[in-house]
Chains A and B, each alone.
Chain A
Amino acid sequence: MALMLVLAIYFMLPLYFLIVAATKPQGDLASTSGLTFSNFQLFDNLHTLFTFNDGIFARWILNTVVYAVLGAAVGTLISALCGYALAKFRFRGREFLFSVILGGVLVPSTALALPLFLLFSEAGLVNTYFAVFLPSIVSPFGVYLARIFANAAVPQELIESARLDGAGEFRTFFSVSFKLMSPALVTIFLFQFVGIWNNFFLPMVMLQKEELFPITLGLFTWNGQTARTPLLQESVIMGSLVSIVPVIILFIVLQRFWRTGLAAGSLK
């Protein structure tokens, strides 16, 4: 129990520090203790964050939604289609395709970013939304999970009877199988969302225009400028808090999906 309490404090300390620091004026950051509140300036700090540099932070939020939310949504759909086909259709080369995808799980995404940059610069795609969005929709791990879940959740008899009723494969998928798989699809979505939200190397390699940055890259850039512009420090802290608190709340709300997904992922 004592050990768990110590660990719980360890896990929550940085977040607590961030909340406290976000309420303080810049001048109090260094002069007051990091663990206690001083002058409460949360709303001033929020105002500064969203007005600095013509309010570019709001733009970064929008970009992150495009990259992470839209990317994970598209990625989940294509992973579900592919995983379902690999689980439920029998065709030659099925196992081979699946092995290729499993190999893809092991390819480090940082090793992909540099060659992708070269290919995209030849295609003129560097410094566009597509440069980060398109590679992000591919999730071999998502296909792997979709195949496991389709096997477990969609009875073959149901597909057969839909076929006998004359429904096409796509209609069967969207009206029958998709609903049965939907808890699993939430899991795949969450995994992929975290993957994109975490992938810092790809946007850093692909993007030079600040207007296209996701929040992570934007805050990283600001953090590098705090030596010259100390006032930015408060905005880096405020920005970190603004970006992670909604995600943490979302995760706590959706926890039961995580647990089913993690359990399925660890089966051999």
Chain B
Amino acid sequence: MTDIATRPTDAVSPPPRGRRRPRLDGGGPRAGTIVAFLTPFFLPFVLFYLVPVGYALWQSFRVVRRSGGQYGTSYTTFGGFEQYVEVFQNDEFWASIGRIGLFGIVQVPVMLFTALVMALLLDTHLLKLKGFFRTAAFMPYAVPGVIAAIMWSYLYSPQLSPVVDLLNGIGLKPDFLGPGAVLWSAANVSTWLWTGYNMLIMFSALQSIPQELYEAARIDGAGNWAIAWRIKVPIIAPSIVMTTVFSIIGTLQLYSEPAVLRQISSNISSTFTPNMLAYTVAVGNNYQQAAAISVVIAVITFVLSFGFMRLTSKRAGL
């Protein structure tokens, strides 16, 4: 951080009004002032982030038991890893993880590759109407997932959709809400929502590359493709890593899109994604089990995003 280097030694200058101030680290404002700057954020951060995380952990180690048979009074007690064992033995949990995995392995690369190609095209001199394309691609970002899914569900529905009409017209009989297709219909909504956002991150990174680099490459005889893949892509690798991590987190949290499609398709169960499973279990009053599922989702998110960052930073030497 640069502020260490630019910081003048104000220990030499006398404190204002000759008053002795208690200092934490030799300079700057007094401790009380620092606390006053930090508290408005940290108080809600602790209350609405750290405490719930701790509470979920605590809940996930508890179980509800009954004393005196099925009709006895129920009480909660410490259950160790019992809830977690139950999560890992739950077929519906593995099914939901499988769907999310398949979704992520296909949707994330398709989306990011499209975003990258668009960003590279926007960064060349070949393309006209750049502002229009940038805006068109970014517009979906302003649309909440729920509303996007509602809009697309009309485009999927056999009664209303002009897309289905068109495809029927050329002899295809698509069933966007069928058992095999509905996962990809949800994936399409995510792709539609987030491609432009990812494109803009990559495009912003491309714009910060100094032009001299391209001139030097051209003198060395590099063509447009060589410049794009050998110079531009490696330089913006940190942005690509960041968009990948955000996409992984987003995939594991998938909820709104399948929840909306569930309203019109019987091929989406109430346990379609891990989050839907957690919600369904919670509504069924088994909060301890729901907490354990939430913790497992959060841990998988951490492991995958950190793992991906470590892996790529080692390989690319970032």
* Complex partner residue of B38 from A77, A97, A107, A118, CB under 8 angstroms: A97
Task: Convert B282-294 into 0s and 1s, putting 1 for each residue whose CB lies closer than 8 angstroms to a CB of A.
Answer: 1000010011001
Contact B36 A170 (CB under 8 A): yes
Q: Does A201 contact B (CB under 8 A)?
A: yes
A143 and B291 alpha carbons, distance in the complex (Å): 28
Contact B160 A29 (CB under 8 A): yes
What interface size band does chain B fall in?
A: 35 or more
Contact A138 B141 (CB under 8 A): no
Chain A positions 1-36 with a Cβ under 8 Å from a chain B Cβ? 1, 3-4, 7-8, 10-15, 17-18, 21, 29-30, 33-35
Task: Convert B257-281 into 0s and 1s, putting 1 for each residue whose CB lies closer than 8 angstroms to a CB of A.
Answer: 0011001000000000001001100
Residues of A near B132 (CB, < 8 A) are 8
Residues of B near A163 (CB, < 8 A) are 10, 16
Contact B260 A11 (CB under 8 A): no
Minimum distance in angstroms from A204 CB to a CB of chain B: 8
Chain A positions 76-101 with a Cβ under 8 Å from a chain B Cβ? 77-79, 81-82, 84-92, 97, 100-101
User: Given A89-B34, A219-B147, A251–B45 Cβ distance below 8 Å?
Assistant: no
A3 and B149 alpha carbons, distance in the complex (Å): 24
A255 and B132 alpha carbons, distance in the complex (Å): 12
Contact B41 A143 (CB under 8 A): yes
Contact A251 B142 (CB under 8 A): yes
Residues of A near B297 (CB, < 8 A) are 108, 110-111
Minimum distance in angstroms from B224 CB to a CB of chain A: 14
Interface centre among A12, A34, A97, A251 (most CB of B within 10 A): A34
Query: Interface with A: B70-78, B89-97, B202-210, which one?
Result: B202-210
Q: Does B228 contact A (CB under 8 A)?
A: no
A100 and B49 alpha carbons, distance in the complex (Å): 11
What interface size band does chain A fall in?
A: 35 or more
Contact A197 B41 (CB under 8 A): no
A21 and B36 alpha carbons, distance in the complex (Å): 52
A18 and B151 alpha carbons, distance in the complex (Å): 7
Contact B144 A108 (CB under 8 A): no
Contact B200 A135 (CB under 8 A): no
Contact A151 B41 (CB under 8 A): no
Q: Tell me the nearest residue of chain B to A117, going by C-beta.
A: B282
A85 and B202 alpha carbons, distance in the complex (Å): 30
A92 and B137 alpha carbons, distance in the complex (Å): 45
A252 and B38 alpha carbons, distance in the complex (Å): 33
Chain A positions 197-218 with a Cβ under 8 Å from a chain B Cβ? 197-198, 200-201, 205, 216-217
Contact B2 A114 (CB under 8 A): no
A185 and B207 alpha carbons, distance in the complex (Å): 22
* Complex partner residue of B16 from A8, A14, A107, A166, CB under 8 angstroms: A166
Query: Interface with A: B25-33, B80-88, B170-178, which one?
Result: B25-33
User: Given A17-B151, A17-B154, A90-B28, A11–B136 Cβ distance below 8 Å?
Assistant: yes
A30 and B117 alpha carbons, distance in the complex (Å): 37
Q: Tell me the nearest residue of chain B to A220, going by C-beta.
A: B146
* Complex partner residue of A244 from B36, B143, B279, B287, CB under 8 angstroms: B143
The binding surface of chain A is classed by DSSP as helix
A92 and B139 alpha carbons, distance in the complex (Å): 43
Contact A266 B142 (CB under 8 A): no
A251 and B134 alpha carbons, distance in the complex (Å): 12
Residues of B near A157 (CB, < 8 A) are 6, 8
Q: Tell me the nearest residue of chain A to B256, going by C-beta.
A: A200
Contact B59 A7 (CB under 8 A): no
Contact A114 B282 (CB under 8 A): yes
* Complex partner residue of A111 from B34, B144, B295, CB under 8 angstroms: B295
Contact B255 A268 (CB under 8 A): no
Interface centre among B147, B253, B256 (most CB of A within 10 A): B147
Q: Tell me the nearest residue of chain A to B134, going by C-beta.
A: A255
Q: Does A44 contact B (CB under 8 A)?
A: no
User: Given A89-B34, A265-B242, A8–B133 Cβ distance below 8 Å?
Assistant: yes
Chain A positions 148-180 with a Cβ under 8 Å from a chain B Cβ? 151, 155-157, 160, 163-164, 166, 168-170, 173
Q: Does A55 contact B (CB under 8 A)?
A: no
Residues of B near A145 (CB, < 8 A) are none
A8 and B165 alpha carbons, distance in the complex (Å): 21
Contact A169 B148 (CB under 8 A): no
Contact A266 B45 (CB under 8 A): no
A82 and B45 alpha carbons, distance in the complex (Å): 11
Chain A positions 100-114 with a Cβ under 8 Å from a chain B Cβ? 100-101, 104, 106-112, 114
| A-B CB contact pairs (8 Å), 27 listed | A11-B195, A12-B136, A34-B162, A34-B163, A78-B41, A81-B37, A90-B26, A108-B297, A111-B56, A111-B297, A111-B301, A116-B52, A118-B59, A156-B3, A166-B17, A198-B145, A200-B144, A216-B144, A219-B147, A223-B150, A240-B150, A244-B142, A244-B144, A251-B139, A251-B142, A266-B204, A266-B239
A108-B301, A169-B37, A251-B139 given; 10 more Cβ-contact pairs under 8 Å: A8-B132, A11-B139, A14-B192, A30-B159, A108-B252, A143-B41, A156-B8, A255-B138, A263-B207, A266-B202
Closest 9 interchain pairs by CB? A34-B162, A82-B41, A85-B37, A263-B204, A115-B52, A115-B56, A266-B239, A78-B40, A135-B48
